[in-house]
Structure 1
Amino acid sequence: MNQQVNVVKVDGDQLRIEDVVSIARNATHIQLTEEALNRVRASRAMVEKMVSQQEVVYGITTGFGKFSDVMIHDEDVSKLQENLIMSHACGMGDPYAVEVVRAMMALRINALAKGYSGIREETLLQLVELCNRGVHPIIPQQGSLGASGDLAPLAHMVLVMLGKGEALVNGKRLSGKEALSKVGLSPIRLEAKEGLALINGTQAMTAQLCLALYDSRVLLESAELIAAMTIEALRGIPKAFDPQLHLVRPHPGQQESAKRLLQHLSGSKRTTAQGELRVQDPYSLRCLPQVHGATRDTLEYVWTTVTRECNSVTDNPILFTETGDVISGGNFHGQPMAFAADFLAIAIAELANISERRTERLVNPQLSGLPGFLTENGGLHSGFMITQYVAASIVSENKVLCHPASVDSIPSSANQEDHVSMGTTSARKLRTIVSNVTKVLAIEYLAAAQAIDFGSGDLGTGTARAYEQLRRVIPRLHEDREMHPDLVKAEELIQQGTLAFVTE
């Protein structure tokens, strides 16, 4: 019995970030629409006409970059494309994770499906089949300047289509030729324009942004629920989340975060009124809507920007079949993605900054009114003392990583390409920051649950379920034990989206 496979129909115009994530992580297949294939065929016919008429067109009958003024003879047009791939496949460093590679492939397929790049139908279908049959090229992470596209990473992707390079198939590292043979495919030969069409684009940086964005949205929702648990543990004041307050400073993200915090705390007997214990909470509790809301608004901006890029033509030159124009420009320049990645890095790192401050309030008896470091027998036991150290070290690491890569540029190609985006570096750093934020939130999650165990009274609608989910896999800390396994389990709960959807 054949197992049913999920399919995303790709037409070049409607690919969502959720689709990219599904292809990257769930082995969802790609199916090109007939409309997209018709556009691809029309674009290819335009390339073949230009070659037959010996027109001077960048990257088709000329060299690349500084060699754009060098004419290529007819008999060498195909060899030019193969040489392009081999020479540009010079990345360094550890390979990208399979999920990033699959996202890159999906995004490049969608860009080519728009029909502005002149690739042959059979070449595009080869890339589709690689993705669908689980052939994942080994792509080194270092080497892209993020302008002229992600040339080196995408060249490594294309090598496997030619039977060169290396790929993972079912977790086994094989030569490109062996990988193709393993799944019943044969190497292809690139024709005019095709090598350039395959590697001129922002897909390495955009792939990482798609995954980081999706994970960041999960982190934001998780952070608010964990923060609500901390509010209860510290007997905080939810009046600070009153809609009246946020209507007079009407940032959408702030209003939404305040609304969600009240939902999570609905029915709680652990919170207090203004003046009952204190008049005001510290900023890390009271200003949650303002801080998280700013992150929420940033997420929305970046989500819109990246979705737009997912469905953009980032090739050069671009072929317009309706007018017959071939225009050399700079749509491959990664500046929009570079800014988006750096902006999101700052916004998502702030979730960890404020989380670590809440963890400090939970473990510090001078601030919490709870047993020191949340242990019943302090002195003999250290409890959560060092978990706060860990959170502090991670947020400090993030502060270094948040330095924007997009403010840097360095000339290349003999100064022909004299301004670059460094967007791929921005995206790589962003993924590390997202992982770090998850760890810091996991620490607060554990500490908040432990602190709740020292109190009494009903928890809120959302916080009760979050607490119960944690306690199903991690028991209360009565005496010192290895904390690392507990932290990893809490981290996995967050990564799985368990908390993000607990109140849906």
Structure 2
Amino acid sequence: MQSAEHKPPLRAVRFDQSRLCIEDIVEIAKASARANLSAAPEFRAAITRGADFLDRLLREDGTIYGVTTGYGDSCTVTVPAELIAELPHHLYTYHGCGLGEYFTPAQTRAVMAVRLASLSKGFSGVSVALLEQIVALLDADLLPLIPSEGSVGASGDLTPLSYLAAALCGEREVLRAGQQVPAAQALREAGITPLRLRPKEGLAIMNGTAVMTALACLAYDRAAYLTQLTTRITAMASFALDGNAHHFDETLFSVKPHPGMQTVASWLRQDLPCEQLERNGKRLQDRYSIRCAPHVIGVLADALPFFRQSIENELNSANDNPIIDAEGERVLHGGHFYGGHIAFAMDGMKNAVANLADLLDRQMALLVDSRYNHGLPANLSGAEGPRAAINHGLKALQISASAWTAEALKLTMPASVFSRSTECHNQDKVSMGTIAARDCLRVLELTEQVVAALLITVRQGVWLRCRLNPSIAPEAPLQQMMQALSEDIAAVEEDRRLEPDLRLLLERIRQQAWSLYA
């Protein structure tokens, strides 16, 4: 094992005007990569031009929304020249009204990185010093304590991002090494000077889609992994149920050309022998939760490229208001803070992910029921002899998995259709993108719990099938998966509390511990 002193340096993700991908943000969130602000003179000059242009407009008595005017519906209020410098402070101060659970450290790092990405595009009129301050906090792992509730997703994520703006200025609280610390103290002890926001910088930090986009990046990463893991579980369930692998035949799937669905079927063919003829009196057609698994998982697999495009386009956008065109010397008033694309992606993703939970819940119902599991013990109990009478195997686990599935399905109501008129009817159509993203993460969490239950179930089912018929053996990928699961969880030969096993498996799922398909 490498000592802390000899760990390899973290990969640097460069922030400038070039395009970033979801994985860049995920790695920063997981602290496996660090943010690096480009030192290229042309990049820094481009950022500086925007700030200088705003300064010149102010000297020339120009009217600039959010700089010489109030915010939102208060854009008709003119701010006296002597108070302009105080205005950004007031913006993040009065937006300090978030509630709910605080974002996790990983989520907070993602939020900071996504906001840095947008401001680095050079259309926000901010200083290089502001960008450097975000990087400094990330480097020191001083994470603003951000409540998760209070954004309607247009005019951006105002309330949660106010906590980032405040922390950059040494106000409110940050999380340092797992402990809440006053931001002023944390910055002082890290040798970081609190930022004094320039005109427009408070608005530039807060008036954007960074929170919903950050959560969407993390959601995408988890959903993509669940697509593969659910496929592997399906293969193990098919083996345990003595199912028909010919349901995943290549010719069969060639006639329905959804590429994601076809990929899932190809993964199943890697895991299962795809013979064409049934043997030993097998049922001609398996039940839908096995036979149609590629069609269910394939919906998410086919949607992922669209989700990636929407998320990465938002990640690589300048999305505050107004947009500062320093080259054309124009201030462009628009609505790029509107998070409709992220809202739609998250509403769609949570639906497709919840369907994975429902699929697995149905597979588990077949596996534990002796009427449908082709000769396995009731509830997949491993107990034999007289003790079989008092053992109940996975009976309660199936109840819990059903509860988690029901809660996931309940949350699939799209958030984006619940627009509200806010802020004196100025923000009269809003995206609810952050609520959609939070819902999606909750659906992912519940689905991962169902996946953990199914990992115990299929590990037990494959073990019992091989005990029942020692002459058969799973294909190499399933043998390797069984070996990996067996290192973490024992077969259930006698009733035991399964919560510790479930929590360990959840940790493995979230670490993406198993290599699945290329």
TM-score (norm 1): 0.96
**Letter aligned with residue 163 of structure 2:** H
Cα distance, 1:48 vs structure 2: 0.8
| Number of the residue aligned with 1:190 | 197
How many correspondences in the alignment? 501
| Number of the residue aligned with 2:378 | 372
- 1:461 and 2:476 equivalent? yes
C-alpha distance in 2 between matches for 1:39 and 1:460: 57
Bigger mean CA deviation after superposition, 486-495 or 319-328: 486-495
C-alpha distance in 2 between matches for 1:13 and 1:273: 55
Q: Deviations over 1:221-269 (max 9, x none)?
A: 111001100100011111111111111110111111100110122599x
| Number of the residue aligned with 2:65 | 58
C-alpha distance in 1 between matches for 2:34 and 2:513: 26
| Number of the residue aligned with 1:484 | 499
- 1:440 and 2:450 equivalent? yes
C-alpha spacing 1:312/1:238, structure 2 compared with 1 (3 Å) = same
Q: After superposition, where does 1:470-481 map in structure 2 within 5 Å?
A: 470-481=485-496
Q: Decide which of 289, 292, 296 is 1:284's aligned counterpart.
A: 289
* Structure 1, unaligned runs of 5 or more: none
C-alpha distance in 1 between matches for 2:6 and 2:292: 53
TM-score (norm 2): 0.94
| Number of the residue aligned with 2:469 | none
| Number of the residue aligned with 2:248 | 241
| Number of the residue aligned with 2:179 | 172
C-alpha distance in 1 between matches for 2:421 and 2:517: 50
C-alpha distance in 2 between matches for 1:71 and 1:347: 48
C-alpha spacing 1:5/1:451, structure 2 compared with 1 (3 Å) = closer
Cα distance, 1:272 vs structure 2: 7.3
**Letter aligned with residue 166 of structure 1:** E
CA contact 2:37–2:131 (8 Å) conserved in 1: no
* Structure 2, unaligned runs of 5 or more: 467-471
Q: After superposition, where does 1:354-373 map in structure 2 within 5 Å?
A: 354-368=359-373, 369-373=375-379
Q: Decide which of 114, 118, 131 is 1:111's aligned counterpart.
A: 118
Cα distance, 1:274 vs structure 2: 7.0
| Number of the residue aligned with 1:229 | 236
Q: Secondary structure of the residue that 2:492 maps to in structure 1? A: coil
Cα distance, 1:384 vs structure 2: 0.5
Q: Deviations over 1:359-397 (max 9, x none)?
A: 111100001021100113443001100111011001110
- 1:6 and 2:16 equivalent? no
CA contact 1:355–1:444 (8 Å) conserved in 2: yes
Cα distance, 1:314 vs structure 2: 0.5
CA contact 2:224–2:304 (8 Å) conserved in 1: yes
| Number of the residue aligned with 1:498 | 513
Cα distance, 1:133 vs structure 2: 1.1
Cα distance, 1:284 vs structure 2: 0.5
Q: Secondary structure of the residue that 2:465 maps to in structure 1? A: coil
CA contact 2:418–2:432 (8 Å) conserved in 1: yes
**Letter aligned with residue 379 of structure 2:** F
C-alpha spacing 1:272/1:220, structure 2 compared with 1 (3 Å) = farther
| Number of the residue aligned with 1:404 | 414
- 1:206 and 2:220 equivalent? no
**Letter aligned with residue 378 of structure 2:** G
- Runs of 4+ off more than 4 Å: none
C-alpha distance in 1 between matches for 2:260 and 2:6: 45
Q: Deviations over 1:332-363 (max 9, x none)?
A: 00111111111000001111100010011110
Q: After superposition, where does 1:10-49 map in structure 2 within 5 Å?
A: 10-33=15-38, 34=40, 35-49=42-56
C-alpha spacing 1:274/1:280, structure 2 compared with 1 (3 Å) = farther
C-alpha distance in 1 between matches for 2:98 and 2:481: 43
CA contact 1:381–1:480 (8 Å) conserved in 2: yes
Q: Deviations over 1:281-302 (max 9, x none)?
A: 1000100111111111122211
C-alpha distance in 2 between matches for 1:37 and 1:221: 42
Q: Name the % identity.
A: 34
| Number of the residue aligned with 1:415 | 425
Q: Deviations over 1:91-124 (max 9, x none)?
A: 1122111111100100000100000000011122
CA contact 1:6–1:29 (8 Å) conserved in 2: yes
C-alpha distance in 2 between matches for 1:295 and 1:429: 17
| Number of the residue aligned with 1:340 | 345
Q: Secondary structure of the residue that 1:71 maps to in structure 2? A: coil
C-alpha distance in 1 between matches for 2:323 and 2:284: 63
CA contact 1:238–1:272 (8 Å) conserved in 2: no
C-alpha distance in 1 between matches for 2:463 and 2:72: 64
CA contact 1:316–1:331 (8 Å) conserved in 2: yes
Q: After superposition, where does 1:72-87 map in structure 2 within 5 Å?
A: 72-87=79-94
